């Protein structure tokens, strides 16, 4: 099993739709979690950190489920500009080597 | 603040040539790192540094060297380029909280083609 797994997609959704991605991780010692967004041929940029209590930023909600070892990202009211690849990142305790998932591609169409 | 800068943006090398990819950050971050991104493979860590004078290997260090003489700069050197090193290279930096990186800030990337 890969250390961090994501469904590569693409998720093809209409504007205004709600879409959710999951990211599973295998190492129970993982302690910090992030979602990054990467536009085509650009660098990754932080979308949001994922806290144990969950967090919300406008249309975006991130959740952590430690028991089942996954994090999720929910996007409500999708916009055309949300089209991108979403990367999850997991940091193990005591390691300076973060693990990136391969990303989930989202395409929002009119 | 310029954030994280990388040069060059594009480079074509012949097999066996050497070159240095430059990376600089102006955020006074302790942690700096180099990744390569290949289609279908995601980002893979090559080398990282937690401060000036300290470097360590990531997941795919073979064929690459790094040094960290200052907080700001973290160059990546390809010793003898091979076609397998054709990739997009990203430099990133972050502050540290104990044993964890905080948010990583990425440079715009260097697209390298080795013929």
Task: Give the closest of A49, A96, A102 to B42, CB-based.
Answer: A102
Q: Cα(A25)–Cα(A87) distance, rounded to whole angstroms? A: 13
Q: Which phi and psi angles does B85 have, rounded to 5°?
A: -90, 5
pLDDT tens digits, residue range A36-82?
999 998 999 999 999 888 899 999 999 999 999 999 999 999 999 99
Q: How many CA atoms lie within 13 A of B48 on its CB side?
A: 24
pLDDT tens digits, residue range B20-36?
999 999 999 999 999 99
CA distance A60 to chain B (A): 18
Average pLDDT over residues B64-83: 96
CB contact under 8 A, B100 and A32: yes
> Judged by CB atoms within 8 Å, which residues 34-63 of A form the interface with B?
34, 41-46, 49
More confident residue, A100 or B2: A100
Residue with tokens 């991104």: B37
More confident residue, A27 or B22: B22
Q: Cα(A103)–Cα(B44) distance, rounded to whole angstroms? A: 13
Q: Is residue B84 pLDDT above 90, yes or no?
A: yes
Q: Minimal Cα distance from A30: which residue of B?
A: B100
Residue B82: CB atoms within 10 A of its CB come to 13
């Amino acid at each position: 099993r890969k250390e961090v797994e994501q469904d590569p997609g693409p998720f093809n959704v209409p504007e205004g739709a709600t879409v959710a991605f999951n990211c599973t991780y295998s190492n129970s010692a993982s302690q910090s979690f992030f979602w990054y967004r990467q536009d085509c041929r650009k660098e990754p940029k932080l979308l949001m950190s994922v806290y144990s209590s969950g967090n919300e930023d406008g249309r975006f909600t991130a959740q952590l489920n430690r028991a089942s070892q996954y994090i999720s990202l929910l996007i409500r009211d999708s916009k055309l500009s949300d089209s991108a690849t979403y990367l999850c990142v997991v940091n193990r305790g005591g390691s300076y080597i973060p693990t990136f998932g391969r990303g989930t591609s989202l395409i929002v169409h009119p | 603040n310029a954030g994280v800068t990388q040069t060059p943006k594009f480079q074509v090398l012949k097999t066996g040539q050497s070159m240095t990819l430059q990376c600089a950050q102006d955020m006074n971050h302790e942690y700096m790192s180099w990744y390569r991104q290949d289609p279908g493979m995601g980002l893979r860590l090559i080398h990282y540094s937690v401060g000036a004078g300290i470097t360590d290997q990531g997941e795919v260090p073979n064929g690459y060297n790094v040094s960290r003489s200052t907080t700001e700069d973290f160059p990546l050197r390809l010793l003898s380029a091979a076609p397998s090193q054709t990739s997009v290279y990203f430099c990133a930096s972050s502050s540290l909280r104990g044993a964890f990186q905080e948010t990583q800030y990425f440079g715009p990337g260097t697209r390298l083609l080795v013929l």
